[in-house]
Amino acid sequence: MDIDEIRVEIDRLDDELLRIFNDRAALALKIGEIKKERGMPVYDPGREKRIFERMQAANPGPLENGAIIRLFERVIDESRRLERIRTKGL
């Protein structure tokens, strides 16, 4: 593959990631609604720990586990932020 073909593949993957991030965020919002109805806190450190452990165990590389954790921390932080905004009705 040449550089242009590789970039086309990267663009395709970026489009897929965008769709996946938004699908994940939509599901997080549904969970946020359920948590609000049940009076549960948005933040669940146990759940986040399990996600990080699962992602590290499944990580085939070449990204190191620390990078995987940082990426998922960001995704989870944004989902949590979105949950807080939506559940407060802002």
User: Exposed (0-12), middle (13-18) or buried (19+): which is 32, by Cβ within 10 Å?
Assistant: buried
Q: The pTM is what? A: 0.85
The class that CATH gives domain 3-87 is mainly alpha
pLDDT 10s digits, 60-84? 999 999 999 999 999 999 998 998 8
Asked if residues 68 and 78 have their Cβ atoms less than 8 Å apart, the reply is no
Average pLDDT, the chain: 93
Question: For position 89, what pLDDT does the model report?
Answer: 58
Q: Higher pLDDT residue, 88 or 56?
A: 56
